[in-house]
Structure 1
Amino acid sequence: MKKILITGAAGFLGSHLCDRFINEDFHVIAMDNLITGDLNNIAHLFKLKNFEFYNHDVSKFVYVPGELDYILHFASPASPIDYLKIPIQTLKVGSLGTHNLLGLAKEKRARILVASTSEVYGDPLVHPQNEDYFGNVNTIGPRGVYDEAKRFQESITMAYHTYHGLETRIVRIFNTYGPRMRLNDGRVVPAFIGQSLRGEDLTVFGDGSQTRSFCYVDDLIEGIYKLLFSDYNYPVNLGNPDEISIKQFADEIIALTGTKQKVIYKPLPKNDPLQRQPDITRAKEILDWEPKVSRAEGMQKTLDFFKTFTKEELNKREHKDFSSYSQV
């Protein structure tokens, strides 16, 4: 049985990765310091013999006994609310945490895949964004703690590949949504759904003309799985190129939920990307991958998940004013 370490395992993407590799008959070692993760996301796995969990911060030394075949590094705050609230931890997990895990991969002779992000492109001057674009990022702006942590993460990963011959993979993840997202964590999908279910008006920043491209989580997990077992060492975009404006998306959510809220507008946060659409040509050619789940189907599944929350949970789960946060 192959053994894989998944960091950030109690988070949105990490928990879905745990499920996938358990279903593929791997022995899964899950690691998370629970600063943004939730054990409820992986509670169903604790009874399994081929699953183990460690409450640990990967910014500190990481020890895993015995053999290890693969590492998936998904430990990082991913929403603006989180990385603006804990900027130092965000920088540390992208730098020190990545360094620790690359060292572990080198010691174990394991293949490592690190989770990067479309945010390395910043507010892009190229559209759609392909992997050869270097980005337009403000290193000292409010988003810099996340953007630069991920850019450094890519750099040190490639350095380990080039200098040590380590087997590395880099995935650049575009907007992804689905069950187990934290309600109202500042990202646009749970924020809009949460506002709709509470009967509130939907908050759009700027004039709503900025665009996003939303990928359903099952599609993303399939792409990550294929990338891990590919022979490609350079960054690969994974996302859904079906682009939509935030205003149009707000209207879709109102129609989906059958509610009658209005859309209200607030100032656009500093350095908020005005366009976001992945060029997935490389993923198609190298991985034979492209998303299968339509936004209508994926959003219905996501809405059904959030509908399971009680009224009390809807009102207490980090319900706050998002006016100072980026809409991602």
Structure 2
Amino acid sequence: MSKYLVSGSGGFLGFYLAKKLAEQGHSVVAVDVELQVGSQSRMVELEAIDGIEVIRGDLTNEEFVSTLPSVDGVYHMAALNGTQKFYSDPWKVVRHSTIPTITLLERYGRDPLEFFFYAGSSEAYASSITKFGWEVPTKEDVPLGIQDPKEVRWSYGGSKLHGEIAVFAAAVELGTPAVVGRFHNAYGPNMGIHHVIPDFIERGKNGVFELYGANNTRSFIYIDDAIESVIAVANNAVGEVVNIGSPNEINMIDLAQIIMEEAGWSGEVKNFDAPVGSVLRRAPDISRLAEIIDVEKFVNLNEGIRRTLPSYL
């Protein structure tokens, strides 16, 4: 069994990944600065699991990162995510979504790793689709760009794009075995707040059925499938960028209806404009992912919502 570092272990993806690796018998170094709502309780839960060493610290601090132990592979999941934060705390988003990538590459980039997995984001596709009308579902090889650096929504998408450039630069100069997984809307129990599914559920509990960007489309991948995909991509696609998601595109009004149906709610959904800079359509081409993992077994959206609801209700 191997020893892996999981950055951002107090976050949604990092938490489930750390647990899964430990279940598989690996040793896990779980690192987080605990910026997100719920991250403290997740880290406490990880401390109780055999095979997981929890380390609390700021990955923007190079001195702290230099003290982290040697490992066989790195899963770099840390970033400051949450759509509302892109607008309310854009500088914090940039700081905590870029500097940790640099410090971790400085620490581990030259080590004889199995892989350095970087958690990319579908936000990187936004201007390709909005500005140039690129095909949806979108392949990994489409040109990427930043439509307007003055638009603070790019605090996250631009940071994640920067991270992809950083890991492949490290691959050339440092010999880092870099691999990128571009996530498309992973969801599941206890995923936190400031995302479309938990936000709608939180309002719906109080009988408020408000939706922002009803005609926007997204695709969603259940957390268990996302984590299985991460592990498969890290071990089978070094040197590549691979979409991690579902190609099943759905508009937000239909998503709201599924949530209400599964929760047993009824009422009129009030529609509001999408946040500024929000892309109209987004869904991944997962042809490459399907060569690595059996995507036919992925949990469908109705079942995934059914599994997710109890943690919020």
Question: TM-score, normalization: structure 2?
Answer: 0.91
Matched, 1:74 2:77: yes
Question: Which amino acid counterpart does residue 270 of structure 1 have in structure 2?
Answer: V
Contact 2:22–2:50 (CA<8 Å) still a contact in 1?
no
Question: Which amino acid counterpart does residue 186 of structure 1 have in structure 2?
Answer: H
Aligned residues: 302
Q: CA deviation at 1:217?
A: 0.4
Q: C-alpha offsets along residues 63-119 of structure 1, whole Å, 9 cap, x if unaligned? A: 345431111111112211223333222212332210111122224322210101000
| Higher mean C-alpha displacement, 85-94 vs 118-127 | 85-94
Hey, what's the Cα distance between the residues in 2 that align with 1:267 and 1:141? Answer: 17
Contact 1:30–1:52 (CA<8 Å) still a contact in 2?
yes
Look up the match of 2:32: 32
Hey, what's the Cα distance between the residues in 1 that align with 2:27 and 2:308? Answer: 28
Superposition pairs of residues 159-178 of structure 1, within 5 angstroms: 159-178=169-188
Hey, what's the Cα distance between the residues in 1 that align with 2:69 and 2:254? Answer: 51
Hey, what's the Cα distance between the residues in 1 that align with 2:103 and 2:249? Answer: 36
Q: Among 103, 117, 125, which residue is 2:121 paired with?
A: 117
Q: Say what the alpha-carbon RMSD is for the aligned residues.
A: 1.7
Hey, what's the Cα distance between the residues in 1 that align with 2:92 and 2:205? Answer: 32
Matched, 1:210 2:216: yes
Task: Point out where structure 1 has 5 or more consecutive residues left out of the alignment.
Answer: 308-328
Look up the match of 1:192: 200
Taking a change above 3 Å as real, the CA distance of residues 143 and 289 of structure 1, as seen in their structure-2 partners, is farther
Q: C-alpha offsets along residues 118-165 of structure 1, whole Å, 9 cap, x if unaligned? A: 000015122111101123533221211111101110001111112222
| Higher mean C-alpha displacement, 225-234 vs 165-174 | 225-234
Contact 2:216–2:279 (CA<8 Å) still a contact in 1?
yes
Contact 2:9–2:77 (CA<8 Å) still a contact in 1?
yes
Hey, what's the Cα distance between the residues in 1 that align with 2:155 and 2:69? Answer: 34
Q: Among 241, 248, 251, which residue is 2:254 paired with?
A: 248
Matched, 1:137 2:146: yes
Q: Among 83, 108, 111, which residue is 2:111 paired with?
A: 108
Look up the match of 1:51: 52
Q: Among 219, 222, 226, which residue is 2:228 paired with?
A: 222
| Higher mean C-alpha displacement, 227-236 vs 214-223 | 227-236
Runs of 4+ in 1 over 3 A off after TM superposition: none
Contact 2:124–2:144 (CA<8 Å) still a contact in 1?
yes
Identity rate of aligned residues, in percent?
A: 27
Hey, what's the Cα distance between the residues in 2 that align with 1:87 and 1:196? Answer: 28
Look up the match of 1:86: 89
Contact 2:43–2:54 (CA<8 Å) still a contact in 1?
no
Contact 2:90–2:153 (CA<8 Å) still a contact in 1?
no
Question: Which amino acid counterpart does residue 96 of structure 2 have in structure 1?
Answer: V
Q: Among 258, 266, 275, which residue is 1:260 paired with?
A: 266
Question: TM-score, normalization: structure 1?
Answer: 0.87
**Matched position secondary structure for 2:66:** coil
Q: C-alpha offsets along residues 31-64 of structure 1, whole Å, 9 cap, x if unaligned? A: 1111115222243331344211122111111034
Q: CA deviation at 1:173?
A: 0.1
**Matched position secondary structure for 1:275:** coil
Task: Point out where structure 2 has 5 or more consecutive residues left out of the alignment.
Answer: none
Hey, what's the Cα distance between the residues in 1 that align with 2:178 and 2:120? Answer: 13
